[in-house]
Amino acid sequence: MSSAFRSALRQMRSRDPQRAEDAFGFLAANAAGHVAELVDAFRMETDRGVRYWLLELIALTESEDTLPLLVEQLSNDDESLRRHAANGLKRLGSKPAREALWRARANGQIR
């Protein structure tokens, strides 16, 4: 993981909203090259807002490697995380992603 990427992950937690937004923008532009790092960061993160952002970044990668995490988050108690996961699966558009979305709708996990 590059030092710039690592620094941006730290800056997303900044109390300065502009600094946090700038860090998110940098990560969004570079997310596809850092799928594993984003997934690891999401799994370790405890701050609710940062978790939302990380899952949004993970969804932006459109990587099949994110499928297990996105499917897992469809069962999260937090509706915002479920929504970000569903959006990520829609972006993937693969057969397994579509099947997961269908099951989640059938089970009432998402609309």
The answer to whether 89 touches 73, Cβ cutoff 8 Å, is: no
Residue 111 lies in a domain: no
Task: Name the residue range of residue 54's domain.
Answer: 3-106
Residue 76 has pLDDT above 80, yes or no: yes
Q: Which tens digits make up the pLDDT trace of 84-110?
A: 999 999 999 999 999 999 999 999 999
Q: Which tens digits make up the pLDDT trace of 42-57?
A: 999 999 999 999 999 9
Q: How far apart are CA 71 and CA 50, in angstroms?
A: 19
- Local structure of 11: helix, strand or coil: helix
Number of separate domains in the chain: 1
Residue 54 lies in a domain: yes
Residues contacting residue 33 through CB under 8 Å, at least 6 positions apart: none
Query: What is the SS3 assignment for 27-55?
Result: HHHHHHHHHHHHHHHHHHCCCHHHHHHHH
Residue 99 lies in a domain: yes
Residue 84 lies in a domain: yes
Residue 53 lies in a domain: yes
Residue 97 lies in a domain: yes
